[in-house]
Every structure is written in C-alpha cells, then in structure tokens.
Structure 1
Amino acid sequence: MKKLNTKIILGIGAMLFMFSSCTDDLNTEPKVELSIENLLAQDPNAIEGLLSKMYGTFALSGPNGPGSSDISGPDPGETAFLRSIINLQDFTTDNMKNRWGDDGLDQLTTTSDWDPNNKFFRYLYDRVYYIVPQTTNIIKVLDGVEVNNEAQIVGELRFIRALAYYYMIDCFGKGVLVTTENYGETSALPEASRTELFDYVEQELLAIEDIVPDNNGYGRANKATVRMLLAKLYLNAEVYTGNARYSDALTYTSKVIDEGGYTLATNFVSNFSGDNDTSTEIIFPLIADPVVSQSFGNTTYIVNGSTSTETMNIMDFGTTDAWTGHRATKAWYGLYGDLDTTTDDRAQLFWTEGHNYEMTDYKIWADGYPSIKFRNTNFNGPSTATSFSGTDFPMFRLADAYLMYAECVLRGGGGSNTQALDYVNEVRERAHATAITSAQLNLDFILDERARELNLEGHRRTDLIRFGKFTGGSYLWPWKGNAQNGASIPATYKLFPIPQSALQANVNLTQNPGY
C-alpha cells in the first residue's frame, strides 16, 4: 500500500490531540486532551505524531476528518491551507476561474471589490497563525523534554513555521512575529513589517539548512526542501523588500538541482496522478489519501472541483464526486497555440468537449475548459475511483527549479546562459514541446513557460506580481477587474487586505493601503 507508514503517522497525529483555533488570541496555548509535556514524558515517540500533525495542517482542514477544522469557519472543508492557496494564488489570476461565487469567492475569481471581511482571506491568515504558535509551542516544549532525533525534529518544525510565514510575507506583507522568545506573552504583539518577516524566515532557513538531513521520509523536509524555500524567498526578494537577491536565488536553486538527487519524471502527467509518490521530481509534497487523510481541501478540491457529470465521465479521472466548479481560461490554454495540432503534452490536459473556448460568463460551466492536469487515477497500473483524492500535491518540484534558474540568469543573477537554455528545453522536451533557441529565451518567455508548466500549482499570482503583470492594465485576462475582456486593477491588489477579525484581535495591526 502506498505511503503506508506516513499515512499511519498522520492518522496517529490526528488522534493524539486537538489544537484549538488561535484566531482570537495568538498567544493562547493550545487546548489539548493531555499537555504536550506530559504526553511526551509518557511516550517520547509521540513526537512523530505531533510532527505529522503539523505537516498535515497544510493539506487537512482538521484532526477529525474532512468535517473538522483547526480554525473557525462555517464550512470546515473550505478552511484547509492548500485550498486557500489555490483560491488566492490561482483563481485571482489569469489561469483559473470558479463559477460558484458563494460568500466572497466572486471577489477572488474577478480580482475585484476585495473586502477585509472576505472569509477566504481570513482562512489563509488564520491558518498561518494556527501553524506558527503550535509549532513554536512544540519547539519550546522539546527544550525541556528528551526525545530521539530531537535536533532534526526541531529543524523540521522550524521549516514548517518558516513555510507558513512565507505565505504571510507573500500574501499579506506583514503580520506579527511569534517566536520561542515571545510565545505566551499576554500583551498584543507588535506588527512586523514585510522586511522583518523576510529577515526572520531567511535566518531560520539558513540556520536549519545543515540540521535537516539530505534525505528524509516522504513528505518531510530535507535539505533540498529548505533550499527550495530559500530560493523562492530570494527570487521574490525585490518584491518583498525592495532589494534584488537573484544571485542568492540562483545559488540555492543550483544546490537543489545539483545536490538534491532529483530528476525530471519521464512523463509530465505522472506528477499529478494518484501514484505520484513514486515521482523522481517532487521535492516536497502535501500528502493526500482517500481513506486515512480525507480532506475537502487537498487535491480533492482540485480534482472534484474541475470535474462535472454535465460534460465528462468523472470516473475517467478517478472521482465519484464531481463539483462542477473550476475552469481554465484562454489566458492559460491559449499559450499552447492550437490545441488540436500542438505536440505539447501539457496542452492536452484540458477538457474541451461540450465547452466553449471563450469564457463569456465565468458562472456558466460550459464557458472555459476544465483543467484535467490533476487526476485521482494512477499513472502506473489500475486504480479505484473514490470521492476523496489520493493524489499528493507537488508544492516543490524540480521543473520549477529549472525555470527559476533560467529566470535568475536572465535577471543578472549569474550562472550560465547555456545551462539556462538547457534547463528550459529539458522541461519542454519532457512535454514533447519544441525546443527553443537562445534568441527566444527572455523573461516574457519564462513567464509564459511557467504558466504552461506550473499553473494550478499555487505559483501564478506570485509570478505575475514579480513580472509586473498582476495589477494595472498592461496585461489583461478574462474577468480581471470583473470585465469579460479584463480591466485594470489597482496596485494595492499586490497584497490582500488584512482580515478585519485580525485587526480587531490585535490593536497593533494596521490595514494594508487601499482597503
């Protein structure tokens, strides 16, 4: 059975304890059936379950199945971290639109009328400030409890905390800095700027680079995982801090490529299939399982949300529960040219039968092409359709690193132009797309190639902002600014509004400009 040990650990982590939500008070200690100190004193091996619980918070909504949530919300399934990433990183951009429009989802899919009371902004914000205090608390407890392999476990917890902070930096630009030094303080913590958060995450990742192992269990952080997050932090440093760090981004991207031991999977779609735990390319996955770790917020959201009995046989994609929700726009599939004649394998991952090329109404299912990039069927061998997905989400993978290297070279970060071209062509040739020449390799091409390769993987909004294409009117896409052919949006939309609930909980927080 695939990933059996990891899945069992996730299940144990869910059963050991239930954290309370930290949305009302970031300094509230978690309510547990048994204190962590006493738990670990009685059973030091329980740390594996606690660690797995923290990894699981990126894909699962809560500890007691798909109907539970670690944070508050009217629909627990909506509150999962990965679901928030897809909503905020993909639906707000050119590649994907959702037709449901319920309770603020329209604000995301039309990139318009953003409101601090929108629950979808709050879900990501609250999820970050659920993960950060909980990991910090466990780190503090471990300082006084002896467990096996403690240094590495602390390193992994620091990575999990840094990953959560990375999304706070990227999406909201500021917040509060909860650390082992100030955890448990009763007074409201001061607001930390984007640069302060950046500096903290950078320091944490640099500190644990030599603590985490070269190789680790599937779904757990290793050196390449830490280096990939560092590379992403540096790649976007000019946006985050005003200071370009492309040479540092290239350094750590090169370490991932040269020392990580990963290779491109032979077939592109194998990275997004139910048995993708065998992929040689995935550096850091968010684990899914249709039985042990059910969630409405992991890849179930992508697979079920992108399928419908109205126009397709959903069993072909391994699901028994279609939601009729997500479709791509021509801003994505148009990048491949004529879908009927292109040799690019990635261009075939759209369902066109019964659908219209133009999205004249984003609320009509037949307008736009559903993406069938993610599926719940095995790439190798038979599989059984289930209502929950067992396909892991590839948060970091090698093809991304190849394209990051090329971008760093083009932005003056050093490296080799020849090597950059080779990496880009390796990505394209794997998909049976035509190789490009050095004359064709420029930043505009990289942005488009990142869309062709990485869309629906939670990168697009960050990419468009880094390339200066997200706000304003120089680049329009269907339903940007709530207009069928696109309209300019304000520069303030480079950041999401700080949720009103967070402002009310901490008087030291201030709203982002424009909201």
Structure 2
Amino acid sequence: MKKIKFYGLSILLLAGLSCSDDLDTVPKVELSLDQLLQQDPNAIDGIMSKLYGSFALSGPNGPGSSDISGDDAGESPFLRGIINLQEFTADGIKNRWGDDGLDQLTTTSGWDANNKFFRYLYNRVYYTVPQCNNLLPVLNSIDFPQKDQVVGEVKFIRALAYYYMIDCFGKGVLVTEENSSSGVPLPQSSRQELFDFVEAELLDAETKLPDNNSYGRANKSAARMLLAKLYINAQVYIGVARYDEALTYSNKVITEGNYSLDPNFVRIFSGDNHTSPEIIYPLIADALVSQSYGNTTYIVNGSLNPETMNLADYGATAGWGGHRATKAWYGLFGNLNTSTDIRASLFWTAGHSFEMNDYKEWTNGYPSIKFRNSNFGSSSSQTEFSGTDFPLFRLADAYLMYAECVVRGAAGGNLTQAVNYVNQIRTRSNASEITPGALTLDFIIDERGRELNFEGHRRTDLIRYGKFTGGSYLWPWKGNNVNGTSIPSHYNLFPIPQSAIGANPNLTQNPGY
C-alpha cells in the first residue's frame, strides 16, 4: 500500500474465506508469528496492512482477485459496499447501471434477501472479523515491541467491521477469538449484544492506541470517532439515547486529536489528500500498489463520463458514467450559479438537467466532482486506478456531531462553541455564517448533506433524523417514484442475505422481508 509497508509474508489469513464457510478456519503459516517477528520485527506492519486493506481491496493479487469465494472482485470490496448501501439508497446519489440488484438500491424499492449487494457487505464483515479473531490470540501469547498498540488496532478494525453489521443489518453472529473454534453454528446476536461488544472493544482499544500513529493506521482519535458514531446513533440501535457520550467523544477528538480543518476543502478529496490535516482515518488507495475497483476508483471513475467531461481534469483515464447527484443534494445550496459556497461548485452541470426524470439517463442530474484522482497541490498524471484515499473519518464530522449533540440537549455541551464549529466549516467553504438561533436539527441534517454527502454516512444520518422511511421527506426516485414516495419502516434495516441464513439455521430474517 502507499503509506503502509506491505511485506510478502508466508502468512495467509483466511484467504478465500466465504461467509458460508466455517468461521473457525485456521491461518496457514510456514513460520510461527513469534519466529517471523524475531526474523523481522517490522513484519507486523505487513500483517496489519492485510487487515486494513480488507476495507478497500478485493484480494491479495490485484483488482481481479477476491478474498471471498464466489463474490465478484470488482463489485464486492468493503468500501464499494459502503457507498452502494449508504449513498445510493439515500437522497444524494443515484446510479444508472441497474445491473442485477443495483436498481433496488438506487430506488429504495423491492429489497430482498437474494440481492447480491447486501450479501457482499455482509460477507466482507465476516471476512475481516475472523482474520482479527485468528490474530488476537497469537498476539496475546507473545511479546514484541508495541504489542498493546497492535492489539488495540486489531480490536478497532474488528469493531469497525461489526459497526456496519449493527448499522446495516441490526443483528448477526458474534464471532470472537473465544468462540470461533466451537465447531457448531453460533447463536444469533441481537443489536444490543453487538452494540455492547463493539462499545467494550472500542473502550479497551482507546486505552491501547497511541495518540498518533502512522498515516492510515488507527489512533485514539479513530477509536473515539467510532465511539461517537456508535453513541450518536444509539437511539436507533438500542432504543436508548446516548448523546452525552457522543458529545464527550466528539469533543475528545476535537480537543485532543491534534487535527485541524483543512483550509482547502477540495484537497480532502484529491489525489494528494494524505497531506490534509483534517483526515483522522482514511481507507488508503494507490494507483499502482493497491489497485482496486472498489476503493475510490469506484467513486471517481463512476462519476465521470468522457462524453460530457474532460477526464484529464480529474486524473482519470476512464469514465464509467454511472453516478449522478440529485437535486436533494445540490438543491441544499440554492442556486448553484450564484452560490458562493465552494461545495456548490463541485457538481458538473454542463449538458445535464437539474431534474432527474430518468435515473438511467446519464444527463439527468448533476455528476458530483467532489472526489478526483488529480492532485491538489502538485501536478499529477492520469491513472487507470485512483490513488485518492477515502476519508472515512474527518474532523468536520466531529464538529457537526458535537453541534448535533448540543442541540439534542447533551450534558456538557456549549451552544456558542457548537455554532463556532459549524461556522468554521461554513467559512472554510465561503458560505455565510449562522446565528445561534439558526442552529436547529433541520439545519444540521442539511449541513451534513452539504458537507459529508458521498462519504458513506447519509443513509445512517437520515434514519437517525427519522427522514429515511415513511413519507415526511421525499427525494427523487425514493420508492421508485420520480418525485419520491413513502417507503415502509422495515427499510431502516437491510434483509439478512439468504446465503447467510442458509449457512446458519440460528439466523432469522429481519421483519418485513
């Protein structure tokens, strides 16, 4: 990978594992881990890069390889699943390809347990989790430099994978290093049980992780961001408001994390965004070393089309012509032609219509040019694959979570400080400042849309605000209606993939499917 050394190790952690395979698969090793570390103490970096890479890459042998048997290498990587399920199902971005289940996502309609895109994300969780489970007992049985830190990183990675199980599916199987070798199908775990496990793991990881770590690896702020996200959505996840804790951990990120808002909004989404002071935890991409159709290549190339756009301006050699924003996103800026907001300029409007009367027509709706493969601060070459890292967690999100918790009445919050954080975000983009009276929940959900759309948060945000299902908030093609229509409440969760239910008789389907 670009910023994490990747070693050609003789360790293979569950390569080829499918979700339907046994979860107690043992790593194949030619050297024990302690022998390997004695020969090369830096080998742990290579092992960790495999775990971190499981969120962005499809497999160990390039973009055409897949870690998971039966899942398409191009379609199934974790980050691609996050975009598909968090963005296409929501209001901001629609995809026009419609291939084998993608229409169900982009129109939030007709969801069923055989949709391969639900299976892809589910399988990715249960590919990453067993790798962590197999590694933790070995790490705990030997001594090596920075042992606690590495254990904390593994726990964070496992918690991050389980977070998407909590958020997307609401239940699953809780596989840990203690029960992974049971040899029998494990019982189903509730959303509460998964929540409690992830919370405990992150609290433990926070004590082990350093304040600062190598770029692309988790530190205390990464664990705190995930805790803040877990707590701010607790009302949805477990029926108990935890906004006090969400504010506490957002504030820790802000005041103790040594991050700052990037003065250049566009740099955060450019090929040299590893230089941004704002990114807390990225999923790393590299145009040469870690090529994937599932990292930001999917976002960049999918939003470009040589028929109407100049690919060289965005550092790409291919435009797939798939993703366009809807007026539910760019309409948040008012008139794009007169808006001074830098974020409002990040849509391609030439040759495209404001309305999306046909989501399968490329020129309906405005493509987002927020992400690009070109460098912000230096010249760069066009490449087939993107080298732009994906900012999964960044400081502006912590600012907005803090402000939301204050408005929701969290203890310890300060309204003046909340308004200040929001105004720092807005002035960075040359948008007008707001007054304390304007800081409402409705304003915050719209500001989150202006600031964070296409970054994997939108569906979760809309659910937290009660705007995803039902008919109180409509967007183009919601419920497969050009103007939007009400969708049932059980769509707040995705169906458990039928393949998972077939593999474990203890799993039950989510209501409504």
- TM above 0.5, one fold? yes
- Kept after mapping to 2: 8 A contact 1:30/1:134: no
Instruction: Provide closer, same or farther for how the CA distance between residues 103 and 86 of structure 1 changes in structure 2, counting only shifts above 3 A.
Output: same
Alignment deviations for residues 340-380 of structure 1 (CA, whole Å, 9 cap, x no partner)? 00100000000000111100000000000000000001000
What TM-score comes out, normalization by structure 2 length?
0.97
DSSP-derived class of the 2:85 partner:
helix
The answer for the alignment partner of 1:418 in structure 2 is 416
- Kept after mapping to 2: 8 A contact 1:11/1:292: no
- CA-based RMSD of the aligned residues comes to 1.6
The answer for the alignment partner of 2:24 in structure 1 is 28
The answer for the alignment partner of 1:269 in structure 2 is 266
Alignment partners' CA distance in 2, 1:223 and 1:121: 31
The answer for the alignment partner of 2:457 in structure 1 is 459
The answer for the alignment partner of 1:387 in structure 2 is 384
Summarize the alignment of residues 286-301 of structure 1 with structure 2, pairs less than 5 Å apart: 286-301=283-298
The answer for the alignment partner of 2:490 in structure 1 is 492
1:60 partnered with 2:65: no
The residue identity in structure 2 corresponding to 1:21 is: L
- Kept after mapping to 1: 8 A contact 2:14/2:131: no
The answer for the alignment partner of 1:110 in structure 2 is 107
DSSP-derived class of the 1:394 partner:
strand
The answer for the alignment partner of 2:199 in structure 1 is 202
The answer for the alignment partner of 2:157 in structure 1 is 160
The residue identity in structure 1 corresponding to 2:431 is: A
The answer for the alignment partner of 1:427 in structure 2 is 425
The answer for the alignment partner of 1:479 in structure 2 is 477
Deviation at 1:146, TM superposition (A): 3.3
Summarize the alignment of residues 234-313 of structure 1 with structure 2, pairs less than 5 Å apart: 234-313=231-310
Deviation at 1:240, TM superposition (A): 0.3
The answer for the alignment partner of 1:129 in structure 2 is 126
Instruction: Provide closer, same or farther for how the CA distance between residues 423 and 47 of structure 1 changes in structure 2, counting only shifts above 3 A.
Output: same
Alignment deviations for residues 14-71 of structure 1 (CA, whole Å, 9 cap, x no partner)? 9966622141134231453636646557655422211110001111111111001111
DSSP-derived class of the 1:421 partner:
helix
The residue identity in structure 1 corresponding to 2:238 is: T
Instruction: Provide closer, same or farther for how the CA distance between residues 237 and 365 of structure 1 changes in structure 2, counting only shifts above 3 A.
Output: same
The residue identity in structure 2 corresponding to 1:510 is: T
The answer for the alignment partner of 2:447 in structure 1 is 449
The residue identity in structure 2 corresponding to 1:402 is: Y
Alignment partners' CA distance in 1, 2:281 and 2:8: 21
Deviation at 1:183, TM superposition (A): 1.7
Segment of structure 1 superposing worse, 464-473 or 44-53: 44-53
What TM-score comes out, normalization by structure 1 length?
0.97
Alignment partners' CA distance in 1, 2:168 and 2:211: 30
- Kept after mapping to 2: 8 A contact 1:209/1:227: yes
Among 328, 337, 347, the alignment partner of 1:340 is 337
Instruction: Provide closer, same or farther for how the CA distance between residues 405 and 184 of structure 1 changes in structure 2, counting only shifts above 3 A.
Output: same
Instruction: Provide closer, same or farther for how the CA distance between residues 88 and 35 of structure 1 changes in structure 2, counting only shifts above 3 A.
Output: farther
Among 420, 434, 437, the alignment partner of 1:436 is 434
The answer for the alignment partner of 1:79 in structure 2 is 76
Alignment deviations for residues 196-249 of structure 1 (CA, whole Å, 9 cap, x no partner)? 000000011111212100000000010111111000100000000000000000
Q: Which blocks of at least 5 consecutive residues in structure 2 are unaligned? A: none
The answer for the alignment partner of 2:135 in structure 1 is 138
The answer for the alignment partner of 1:501 in structure 2 is 499
The answer for the alignment partner of 1:373 in structure 2 is 370
Segment of structure 1 superposing worse, 20-29 or 281-290: 20-29
- Kept after mapping to 1: 8 A contact 2:71/2:120: no
Deviation at 1:150, TM superposition (A): 1.4
Identity of aligned residues (%): 66
Alignment partners' CA distance in 1, 2:433 and 2:99: 43
Alignment partners' CA distance in 2, 1:14 and 1:302: 33
DSSP-derived class of the 2:392 partner:
strand
Summarize the alignment of residues 178-197 of structure 1 with structure 2, pairs less than 5 Å apart: 178-197=175-194
Segment of structure 1 superposing worse, 13-22 or 193-202: 13-22
- Kept after mapping to 2: 8 A contact 1:163/1:229: yes
Alignment partners' CA distance in 2, 1:78 and 1:31: 26
1:324 partnered with 2:309: no
Alignment partners' CA distance in 2, 1:506 and 1:228: 33
The answer for the alignment partner of 1:173 in structure 2 is 170
Q: When the two structures are aligned, how many residues end up with a matched partner?
A: 511
The answer for the alignment partner of 2:468 in structure 1 is 470
Alignment deviations for residues 269-323 of structure 1 (CA, whole Å, 9 cap, x no partner)? 1100000000000000000000001010000000000000111111111000111
The residue identity in structure 2 corresponding to 1:509 is: L
Instruction: Provide closer, same or farther for how the CA distance between residues 180 and 41 of structure 1 changes in structure 2, counting only shifts above 3 A.
Output: farther
Alignment partners' CA distance in 2, 1:13 and 1:400: 37
Alignment partners' CA distance in 2, 1:293 and 1:272: 18
Alignment partners' CA distance in 2, 1:121 and 1:16: 26
1:93 partnered with 2:82: no
DSSP-derived class of the 1:285 partner:
strand
The residue identity in structure 1 corresponding to 2:122 is: Y
DSSP-derived class of the 1:274 partner:
coil
Instruction: Provide closer, same or farther for how the CA distance between residues 460 and 137 of structure 1 changes in structure 2, counting only shifts above 3 A.
Output: same
Alignment deviations for residues 373-427 of structure 1 (CA, whole Å, 9 cap, x no partner)? 0000100010001010000000000000000000000001130011111111110
Alignment partners' CA distance in 1, 2:73 and 2:375: 28
DSSP-derived class of the 1:130 partner:
helix
The residue identity in structure 1 corresponding to 2:127 is: Y
Instruction: Provide closer, same or farther for how the CA distance between residues 35 and 513 of structure 1 changes in structure 2, counting only shifts above 3 A.
Output: farther
